Structure formats: structure tokens, C-alpha cells
Structure 1
């Protein structure tokens, strides 16, 4: 694996929503380009000011609705612009030292994909399914009729994905997020990724894994990292339900992954309710304290740093609240200054201590409503103390002596926290 992911922290953007493109009604994937992608340009300095150095882009390829029903992997979605627009964005990001990751939807395509639209019973097929009375009945992704499953046993699909990956890596991106990687056989990635790495040895591959045996997937697929949904769930469930034993268990499970890979960690993304809605604004710092002090490659979902809210719902349009249009410039946002400040302070801590990327975390003490964590390498340590309850608590902080952010002052190896109090210390 390349060395740079050890130092990257991503700003995760859903481009179609960000630029205010139409998502459902009247979308024509063959329309003339509308050059909206440059709306990201004024936000690149915001990425740097936060302390981040990666831009994780959601779908940018031609599709019929939300971007995950791709109809052409080699063409930028005309709602965003064209290839020249992406090239300019990548160049502007690189000029600031920002890495760029693209979202590769290689498990399925939209029904409007030319290879599916022109499918013949006597011709080659890229898709899983069967012919019945002259009609092809495709397999679809998780019951979504518009998402036609690719046939990952087909050498043609292997060649297609290698071609697409290399094409855009040639345009200067740094790697790929592999959408729905958990639904794709690991043997498929094991055929694709080594071929891509032959040409682009510094490319990094992040697989979306909602469930499954992460270490086994990584070993068999050669994917570099997987999304850490178990930690995300432990953070927001533990805090919203008042059961920090769930968080403690998730952190211990996170540690178990490190002998195989460093997971990609997050408290928000384009598919889940925003963290401020999930746990409440007063507990967002607590969630961030965990995110930025345990092992993994962290990401910030764009807008979370401002304390934005939004609840995902299981209905048509249920993602809209967490995929909003952004204003033209960062200075047009009225942020929650406290949440923005905590982001900056904890990202700065993470920058000073890159060893956190693959360091083990010990749970010093845990109750339903309070937890103390210590992450260390040698004599360098970071200690987190969290109180999500309504009563003051006293927690051990081991060798945590200097307050980095939060509240309180350690004394005799302990720290006193008020209701909903929190502290991050270093040795």
C-alpha cells in the first residue's frame, strides 16, 4: 500500500447535491453539459483551513438519477459538467496538496446503460440474470429495480473496470472508493486491482463494507481499506442510547482490524443521518473526540463541521436532507462556531500525531454514560474522557496531563467532568 494514506483526512462531498443539480425529475444523461462542478473550487481553501488534505467525491459519472445508476463510466455527468471541469478541479486540488478519490460504482449500473439497453440473447452480456421467453430478467442490487447487477464472473467486466480505473487515474486522481464492495466477490477485486496497481502503484482503494468479515475481505480482495460502519454505529448508538459499553465494544473491534488494515472511519456520510441529528449538537464533540483519536483514516462529511442537521428517511427522496445544496462560498455559511472549532482542534491534534492512524486504544474505564480511552505509541499518548450523562463524573486519565481541547484540568491522574462534559488530553 502507498504511504500517503497514513496522513490523509478526507472531506467527503456528494457532488450532485452540493452543486444543486436536479436528482430525479427531467434528468437526461445525454444532455449538453451544465458546468456546475466548478462550484467546488471556492471550497478547496476551506478544506485546507480545516486541516484536511483529501477530497472524497461521490459519483461524478453520467447517470439517470442519484449518481449510483451509472450509464457511462467514462463521461462526467452533464449535470456537473465535462471532463475538462473535473481536470480543473483535480489540478486545483493538487495545487493545494489535496488528494482526490473518486466513487466507483462497479457492482451495478443503471438500466439506461448502453450495454444493457442493447442486450441481445445471442450476444455477449455484462450482466447477471437469465433469458425467459426472449426477455432478459436481470438480477438487481438489493431490490432496487433500476440498478442492474454486473456479472463479476465475466472477463469483460474485469476488463471494463480496469479500463475505467486506469482512465481516471491517468487524469490525476489518487484512488477509488469502491461502492457496495461488500456485494462484489473478493475474487473479482483480486483480478482487477493488481492490474491497476501495475500502472498506478500509488493508487489507494477503499471498499464500502456495511457488513462482513473485514480482514477476510481485505486479504482475499487486496482492497487497501474498508469503511468502518461498526465504529460509526458504536459511536452514535452508544451516545444516543446512553450505552457506552456499545462504544467500548466497537473500539475493541476496531483494534482487532489493525493487524490486517487501517479502516476508514467516519461519523457521517451521504447515506446516514448527520451526526448532529443522530446524537444532538451537545454530543457532537464527544463523537469527534473518538473519531480523531482512534485508529483509521478519518473523513468529515461536508457540512458536519458546521453543525448541520439532516435525517435520512427510508422513502423516495429520503436522502435529500443529508445531501443538500451548498452556498457559493464558505463565508456564506452561518456555522455552529463551537462545533467548527472542535473540528479544527481535533484535526490539528491528529496532524501532530500521525501515529494515531494505526495505534491501539485501551478502554480505561466505562459505564453507561462515561468512558475514558487511552491511545498510545511508546511514551506518546492521547487520552479521551467523555461524560454523556446529566450528572458530574470523575474519570481516570492515566498519563494524560495537558488539556488539548474540552474542559477541566487533570489532577492526581483523574479529571472532573460536568454534565455532558468532555476532554482530550495528551501526555
Structure 2
């Protein structure tokens, strides 16, 4: 075995409390280097005349990436304490791996050799909101979803959908428009809405906040927003708002005060000013989002700034009963601010969902003291590269997916925010170059991957559009101009996710095979004794797959499948899929 590849540490994503009784222990080994792994474990104080009392538990191969295999064991220590090591078995040798190194035989004379999980304290268990696991989100860009009250249109608003979206034009989308179409969302199966910013701002996207305590008048007033939240809740739909706390807008009154009064402004330390007087050209003399002069970065270490933003965070939960916050540019804000943010929000609403926008490895934010989840862009990019852009093959996607799953604890993966498109990216069908079959395969990957899926408004009816602002077209409400086949397909996926336990987020997920030649992918989801096998075939040829089982049900066609042996032979069409629920 390659010892240098073997890795474990008793914290973060390698050893953690899954719930108040269960520990998850994960081990990394070189890919295809080890055949079996057993966890050697025992209570550190459980000694008899025969010595330390231990047990062995088999670890399952949970995931693999390009370089490594990841093994997982679920243990319920009777006294909530654990000392443990690993027995690794290959064709050539057996090794014992402990905190002190490698041994040919397990040392049992002293527990100090072994890794330690001192005590499973309930207060340390990461418990994201349970409802998120069963939520299907729908992202709404309020300015472009529906215009329900033309009387509050912003100046210069254009007729709905009359021209292509631009970074500066307006069409009058508002809260009444959302209320008018809640039946549409409920019928689709949506039970969570994520709104991009709704607070007073100069732009159509509202990421340049002027007043965090006021709704932008083009959307409606606070009474209308309260009505919207109430009517969503009546339908079982949760509401999540976008918190832009990394930066304000150029017209934020406190920043305007700095522009006017310079070094004499009482708000000078609300921002990161590097040079006074403030200039915006050729680059801003203050820190901003990127180098964007109309989005000055807030100094969240300043007590006044911190208190102001924490009051904002609490206010919209207390007064309007929102269910979550999505945190824009979350990785550029200091960790201590997010710790206090979590504490304040959870005091008001313990099951509020706190979601960070982070595009990279996010473990530092996901240790139970800051976010419940992050936007799962590593999954997004891998899925698009595989099925939309044909940049990577099935094996490469499988490796990337395995890396994603091994990066975080399982209770984090279960509430990860899985998206394919958003206001920041080209639309799904555009990424697929108009190929509906590839888009359908993408949605199957999305709705079966551990986490909570999100549809960007209009993607379900086949809207197209490139990079911002092209991805922000007005929602098409004329059914004659909608792709109703795609909409029905997505609705059926949502129904399956809702009604089949092994389809959703609380089932285990394992990729079984990924063929780099035929480019097809086979994976399995399991909940208790129920298994569902999925075959994704993005190639121009039909394929045959052998699955374990004597009988099954094709969940899509409702066709029964049976075999005299313990093997089911499945035919999957070109650019098609199979989803087989195995009965035995």
C-alpha cells in the first residue's frame, strides 16, 4: 500500500457526530490500492482482565475521485466515547493505521496509540434545518418574474418582454406578480423560493443596496411582502432572501457621507478606504466587490457596521417570518461576523436556513458555527462539463462528484444547495446548446444528487440566455411559447423526489460505474432496504447494463422487470436514461 496516501484526522469531514448517537468515521486511501477496511474501535475506559475491549466494523467504500478512495463507517458508541484505528487489507499485505503510525499488528497495550473522539456532546452536533432536505427551490429574480402591479413600475419601465434584457433596463417585476403565480409554483411542486435582493437599490439586480431596512418601491411595500410570505407559507412554500453584507451600494447614505465629508465623515471606518479623497478611476481607492466602484466593501469588523447588519438579519426574520438567508460573496466576510450572524438569526428562528455563496472548498464555514450549507458550484461545474458541454467523460465526472461528497460531513451534504443555473450564469438550455435530451439528463443528476435542488426561474420551460444580462430575460407566461414537455419532465422528477424515499436527499448515494468509452454513468441510491439504480447515457448509442436484483420497476415508465437470476438486464436508449427501483 502507498502509506503516503492514507489519511485521517479526527475532526471536520473525517470524524464527526452525525447525530446525538452516531459518529461518522472516514478514511482516505490511494485509489484501488486497498480491498477492505475495518474500523477497530472501543471505549477508552473499557478494560477487563483480558485487556482493552474492542470491536471491528467494516467500512464501506463511499466515494472515489481521481487519486483516492474514501471509506466510511457509522458507529454508535454506547458511552459516546471512542478510540479507534484502521485495519487495511490489500492483496499483498495487512496494515494497522493509528494516530501513532503504521503497525503489522494492532497494538492493544495502550489506547494512546489510537485516534480519539473524546465525547459526543449533543451541543457539538451540526444540525441543519431538517425541512431543507425535502425542499425543491425556485430562484426568482424579482424584476423579471412577473409584473402584477404596473402602478409601481420604475421610471422608464418597458413593456414585459418587449426587448432583450440589459444591465440597466427595467420591466416592472414585483411582489404582486409573484403572488399571482403562486399556484403555478405549487403545481410544479416547488416548496421553497429564493429571492435575489429585494432591498432598496439603484440597479435592476439590487446587489447595490441603498437601504437594508426598506424594500425597493418597484417591488411593493412591506405590507405586500408580508402578504407574499404569508401566502407562500399557506402553500407550504418557504422563503429565503439574499443578504448582501459584503458590500453596500454606491448610493448607500453612509458611503455618500464619506464621499462628501472625506476624513471628517463619521462613517469613514464603515468601509475599507485606502486613500482620501475617494476616487473611482482608474481603480477605486477603496476596497469593493472586485474593482466595481458602485459596490464598496463594508468593514464588518467595525462594531457599528456589525450591529447594523445583525439588526437587519434579525429584523426580516422577526417581522416577516422569512425562513432563510442566502449570503452573497460570503467568503470575503470575516468568520467572526458570520458566527455572530448565525447566533442572532438562530435565536429568532432556530430552523432558519443559512446558505453561503462560496464557489470553492468551504469546510472552514461548515463546522456548525457559521453556515448550514453552501451553493454547490463544484457539483454544478462538473455536471455541466459532463452533460452540457461534453468537456469531460463519465469517469471524470464521477471523480469530481466523489471529491465533492468526500469534502464535507454527510449532514452537510444532505442540505447542500444544488443548482445548474442562476442569475450569474448562462441558462441550462443555452449551456446544452439547445439539446433538450442533455438538459433532461442534467436535471436527473441534479434531483438525485445529495442536497436540495434549485431551479432558476424559466429554466423549467426551456428559456434561453447567455451570460448576464442575457440570463435575466422576462419570464415567459404564454404557454404557446413554453416548452411544456420539459416542464412536465421536471414536474415528474419533483414528484418522484417527493414520493420515493430513495430518490431524495436522505438516501445514500454511490456511483457504481463510469465508462470513459461509452460515457455512461451508473449510480445507486438507497434508503433502508429500497434501492434505485440510475443509468445516464449521453452517447449516440444504446447501452446494456446489468443490475443486481431479481425484479424491479422502471420508475419512469412503470414497467415491471423480472429475471430468473439475480441480475437484471437493462436497455438504455441513446441520449436516454433508466431509473430502476429494485424489489429483491
TM-score by length of 2: 0.66
Pick the aligned partner of 2:244 from 105, 113, 117: 105
**Deviating more after overlay: 118-127 vs 161-170:** 118-127
Aligned to 1:188: 337
Where 1:234 maps in the other structure, the secondary structure is: helix
Q: Could you list the per-position Cα deviations for residues 13-62 of structure 1 after superposition, in whole angstroms to 9, with x for gaps in the alignment?
A: 111122466575488xxxxxx78320111221111111121111111111
Where 2:555 maps in the other structure, the secondary structure is: strand
Aligned to 1:290: 445
Aligned to 2:532: 382
Correspondence list, 1:349-364, <5 A: 349-353=496-500, 356-364=504-512
Query: What is the CA-CA distance between 1:226 and the residue it aligns to?
Result: 0.4
Whether 1:244 aligns to 2:388 is no
Whether 1:268 aligns to 2:421 is yes
**Structure 1 Cα separation of the partners of residues 169 and 385 of structure 2:** 38
Flag the 1:88–1:354 CA change in 2: closer, same or farther, 3 A: farther
Where 2:200 maps in the other structure, the secondary structure is: strand
Tell me if the contact between 1:181 and 1:209 (Cα under 8 Å) persists in the aligned partners.
yes
Structure 1 residue runs of 5 or longer lacking an equivalent are 28-33, 313-318
Whether 1:278 aligns to 2:428 is no
Aligned to 1:51: 189
**Deviating more after overlay: 255-264 vs 338-347:** 255-264
Query: What is the CA-CA distance between 1:289 and the residue it aligns to?
Result: 0.9
Number of equivalenced pairs:
412
Tell me if the contact between 2:506 and 2:527 (Cα under 8 Å) persists in the aligned partners.
no
Structure 2 residue runs of 5 or longer lacking an equivalent are 1-127, 148-153, 158-165
Whether 1:126 aligns to 2:267 is no
Greater helix fraction, Structure 1 or Structure 2? 1
**Structure 1 Cα separation of the partners of residues 403 and 367 of structure 2:** 17
**Structure 2 Cα separation of the partners of residues 323 and 363 of structure 1:** 35
**Structure 1 Cα separation of the partners of residues 304 and 136 of structure 2:** 35
Pick the aligned partner of 2:362 from 201, 214, 224: 214
**Structure 1 Cα separation of the partners of residues 471 and 417 of structure 2:** 20
* RMSD (Å), alpha carbons: 2.4
Where 1:322 maps in the other structure, the secondary structure is: helix
Tell me if the contact between 2:145 and 2:173 (Cα under 8 Å) persists in the aligned partners.
no
**Structure 1 Cα separation of the partners of residues 554 and 498 of structure 2:** 17
**Structure 2 Cα separation of the partners of residues 64 and 154 of structure 1:** 25
Larger Rg: 2
Query: What is the CA-CA distance between 1:85 and the residue it aligns to?
Result: 1.9
**Deviating more after overlay: 387-396 vs 136-145:** 136-145
Q: Could you list the per-position Cα deviations for residues 333-368 of structure 1 after superposition, in whole angstroms to 9, with x for gaps in the alignment?
A: 633232112211111111124563243321111123
TM-score by length of 1: 0.89
Which structure would you say has the larger RCO, counting Cα contacts within 8 Å and 6 or more residues apart?
Answer: 1
